[in-house]
Amino acid sequence: MRAASPDDVDAVAELRAVVLRADLERLGRYDERRVRQRLRDGFAPAHTWAIEVGGAFAGCVALRPDGDVVWLEHFYLDPGLQGRGIGSAVLGRLLAGCDHDGVVVRLNVLRGSPARRLYERHGFTLDAEDDVDVFMTRRPA
């Protein structure tokens, strides 16, 4: 992982569109332009890491501070690299730092997304859900 820069925004926006497409289509929410623009509007390089595999951009993840919690956001991994333990390793590393600092982590994941299982394996529990999003929290271990 490396610190993200403003130059990463286009690669992250494209990856987001690819990774979220199936879930957004299933939920009737996919919009080719909006899926990219929402990322561009909320991209904060200061709180974001780029994930590299073999020296190439492979994904990203952000931890955005919000009062006494942090929000895990923009966690995307190239579909060709999913299922190899990379996402779990990245998440474990970030959560270890949050545990060390005593920080509560929150996130939302699209309803029906297989990513929810990853979050549950790492200690996230359900807070609430609506027709589109599932909100989860993880307290420090």
The pTM of the whole model exceeds 0.85: yes
| Contact in structure between 95 and 61 (CB atoms under 8 Å) | no
Tens digits of per-residue pLDDT, 45-76? 999 999 999 999 999 999 999 999 999 999 99
Tens digits of per-residue pLDDT, 76-133? 999 999 989 999 999 999 999 999 999 999 999 999 999 999 999 999 999 999 999 9
Cα gap 118→76, rounded to integer Å: 13
